Chains A and B, each alone.
Chain A
Amino acid sequence: MTARTPAGRPPSAAFEYLTTKKDEFVGWARKFSLFPYPFVTACCAMEFMSVSSTLYDTDRFGAALPRFTPRQSDLLMVVGTVTHKQAPILKKVYEQMCEPKWVIAFGVCASSGGFYQNYAALAGIDKIIPVDLYIPGCPPRPEMVIDGIMKLQDSIARARHPIVNKEF
Chain B
Amino acid sequence: MGTAEEVLEQVRGALAPLALGSTLAHGILVLEVAAADLAKVAQTLKTRFGFDMFLDVTAVDWPQLEPRFEVVHHFYSTRDHVRVRVKTRVPATDPTVDSLVPLYNSARYMERECHEMYGIDFRGNDDLRPLLLYEGFVGHPLRKDYPKQKEQPLVPYRK
Contact surface of A with B, Cβ cutoff 8 Å = 84-85, 87-88, 91, 117-120, 122-123, 126-130
Contacts and interface: CB of A to CB of B under 8 A. Distances in A.
Contacts, number: 41
B2 interface: no
**What's the interface size class on B, roughly?**
10 to 19
B150 to A, nearest CB: 6
28 contacts: A84-B134, A84-B151, A84-B152, A84-B153, A85-B132, A85-B133, A87-B153, A87-B154, A91-B155, A117-B148, A117-B149, A118-B149, A119-B141, A119-B146, A119-B150, A119-B151, A119-B152, A120-B132, A120-B141, A122-B153, A126-B158, A127-B153, A127-B157, A127-B158, A128-B155, A128-B157, A129-B158, A130-B158
Nearest to A119: B141
A97 B153 CA distance: 23
Interface of B: 132-134, 141, 146, 148-158
A119 B96 CA distance: 24
B122 to A, nearest CB: 22
A91 B158 CA distance: 11
Contact of A88 (B132, B149, B150, B155): B155
A123 B146 CA distance: 18
Contacts of A91: 155
B146 A85 contact: no
A47 to B, nearest CB: 26
